Structure 1
Amino acid sequence: MVHVPYGAQLDTRQRMGVAKVSGHAEWLIQGQGWPVDEQTVAELHAITRDPVVYGIALGNLLGRMETAPEMWAHLEPMAELYRQCGADLEVADRQRQWRASRLWTT
């Protein structure tokens, strides 16, 4: 893995993975009201098990929640889901810092 100022340098498969797990997690948790449990983790693992993908997704959420908690705090269950899916926490922290430094993108 190449270290970059943001979470990680992703290949095409990983970029698509972030998009897929982010959308599916939001649909499951926010749209369908699923709890964060083994079944929900299994749903996302059917898409990918890549810890870097989950790290980027987690970092994006944490950066948003850090800069505007009043808008994004309701997404904490999604953050917990990414952690349970095996998010790379080092990648997540770099991505959180990068996301939080770009207020206009939150």
Structure 2
Amino acid sequence: MKRTTALLPAFFLAALTSAVVPTAYVSADEKPLVVAQTSTVNINTASAEELSASLKGIGTSKAQAIVDYREKVGKFVSIDQLAEVKGIGAATVEKNRALIRLQ
């Protein structure tokens, strides 16, 4: 009996600590801090709003620069071409590569 009661506090402590889930609280006008990225975005057809919501490190001004570049130069033929947009470097392209599609 003594052994069982000694394990109960450890069991409850483990149950309580494993049930704690961190939550990010943001106001209604902010983007969520944690977003599950399960879908991709077509950089040849997406709006600036869609791009900024879907891509890491891309805010509204960089998203608009992508749209402006696309309208001036034409459709992107490779994901690496995204680095030609002013303000977007190779590191940003790499961290978003899995989220980007061309068609």
For normalisation by structure 2, the TM-score amounts to 0.28
Higher helix fraction (1 or 2): 1
**TM-score scaled by length of structure 1:** 0.28
